[in-house]
Amino acid sequence: MGSIQFKGFPGKGSFPHGIHPPENKELSSNVPIEVMPPPERVVLPLLQNIGAPCEPIVKPKQEVAWGETIGVGKAFVSANLHSPINGVVEKIGVCTLPNGRHLPAIYIKAKGDQVVGQALYDDVLGGHWPKDCPIIYYPTSIAKLIHEAGIVGLGGAAFPTHVKVRPDDTKMIDTLMVNGCECEPYLTTDYRVMVEAPGPIIAGALHAARAVAAKEIIICIEDNKPEAIASLRAEAKGTVIKIAVLKTKYPQGSEKQLIKAVLDLEVPLGGLPADVGVAMSNVATIAAVARSVIREKPLTHRVISVTGRGIAQPKNLLVPIGISMGEVFNFCGGLTPDAARIVAGGPMMGFSFSNLDMPVTKGTSGLTVLTHSDLRRERETNCVRCGRCVDVCPMRLVPTKLAMASRHGKLALAQQYNILACFECGSCTYICPAHIKLVQLIRMGKAMVVASRKK
Ligand code: SF4
Ligand code: SF4
């Protein structure tokens, strides 16, 4: 992409360090969102968000309607759960997620008519969306509707959105940043939503900004997505929303890096965007916010990319939460003979898994199937002290030291080097010429540090 001058914002349009991995987005970027046929069954884990699980409020054999609340998030950081189909509760059982967690889950078998095809697409993303936030909406009423709708961050983090947008007198928010970077290679979920459905993004941004009392609204997109930029620029015309076009670099979509790139502000170590007056949500989440507030509809479906050279027909799909990943792969023509690794999310920050009988959750931003030729199988050698991992780390950490401290169980040293500040972007592993699995070691070290603090 040609360089686009970054004007009108305090930042430089990029952040220090980071990498430029092959994007591989062309596999699915031009494939319009297709509505997946309704499944026979959905499996809905009671925990699909950062924080506490919700509590089921349905019983086996109970009939449920599309959009009906089936789980209530009672803790402050928790999220409600709704049925994505008309059906009957089969059981409250257990399911496994790609990150290896076993969780209680509500199993629902489809029964009766379902909303399908274009009608479903229009309900979720289509139709008319206002370009203002009427005065009847108070910040608290917007936050309440988002809370009831069970919305969590759809970019993968799955943090409950109502917690982010609740009015808070202790932390004044100046700016709402809507994150459309989607810097993870392969994934085109947000891209397709931005191209096809700018209406709910603009409407959702205006309503979310009212909730947090932000004076400024900035939608952030990388310069490798010209169609999305044009789509949102056209839709934002006549509103106060600004579009920031950033230089493409990984991991620009990370909150701290994006705030630095656009606003030239540093979120303190261990701090949150709110500490520098920013609230941030990803574009698909903001579109879900619009639907929850304007149409008063809960989060029951999401868009995912199913991509990679290991899938026969890469697609972008609108799917019900809880559909089996195996069913999704079958709908995309199945895996190719040279498929080697399936990843929930993208290759940089996703989780590899092999059991296809797992449900899509609110946080599933995509499914990537890599082939043998995509995978680097080089043998790990000793660290050559080249310092490349340090050069690329966007958090200015020393990955080699963190990894070695983790490997040898030196938790005090790991903490001294701020291991918990690592957000597992994988840039260090990507760049390491010795093929040391730095991020995997650091992830293990972080888990050990967290566990040691609970003792
Ligand atoms: S140490 Fe963590 S934040 Fe730094 S490059 Fe490695 S994975 Fe990314
Ligand atoms: S990039 Fe790899 S080889 Fe170079 S210093 Fe870091 S860990 Fe060592």
Map out the domains of the chain as residue ranges: 25-31+118-294, 388-454
* Strand positions, DSSP E, 213-330: 216-222, 242-246, 278-282, 301-307, 315-320
How confident is residue 5, by pLDDT bands cut at 50, 70 and 90?
low
pLDDT in tens, 155-214: 877 999 999 887 677 889 999 999 999 999 999 999 999 999 999 999 999 999 999 999
Say how many Å lie between the CA of residue 183 and the centre of ligand 2: 24
Average pLDDT over residues 100-121: 95
For atom 6 of ligand 1, which residue has the closest CA? 428
Is the minimum distance from the CB of 422 to ligand 1 under 6 angstroms?
yes
Q: What is the pLDDT of residue 3?
A: 45
pLDDT in tens, 326-338: 999 999 999 999 9
pLDDT in tens, 267-284: 998 889 999 999 999 999
Q: Please state the pTM of the whole predicted model.
A: 0.94
Q: How far, CA to CA in Å, does 99 sit from each of 48, 95, 452?
A: 12, 12, 21
Count of alpha carbons within 13 Å of 334, Cβ hemisphere only? 3
**CA–CA distance, 304 with 343 (Å, rounded to integer):** 13
Is the minimum distance from the CB of 442 to ligand 1 under 6 angstroms?
yes
pLDDT in tens, 230-243: 999 999 999 999 99
Is the minimum distance from the CB of 393 to ligand 1 under 6 angstroms?
yes
Say how many Å lie between the CA of residue 423 and the centre of ligand 1: 6
* Residue written as token pair 């809370």: 147
Say how many Å lie between the CA of residue 10 and the centre of ligand 1: 26
**CA–CA distance, 42 with 45 (Å, rounded to integer):** 10
Structural contact between residues 294 and 129, judged by C-beta atoms closer than 8 angstroms: yes
Percent of the chain with pLDDT over 90: 88
Query: Which atom of ligand 1 lies closest to the CA of 389?
Result: 5
**CA–CA distance, 163 with 30 (Å, rounded to integer):** 34
Say how many Å lie between the CA of residue 393 and the centre of ligand 2: 12
Say how many Å lie between the CA of residue 147 and the centre of ligand 1: 32
Substitution candidate for ligand 2 out of 17, 382, 384, 392 with most atoms within 8 A of CB:
384
For atom 2 of ligand 1, which residue has the closest CA? 422
Topology of domain 25-31+118-294, per CATH? Rossmann fold (3.40.50)
**DSSP code of 378?**
P
More confident residue, 20 or 7: 20
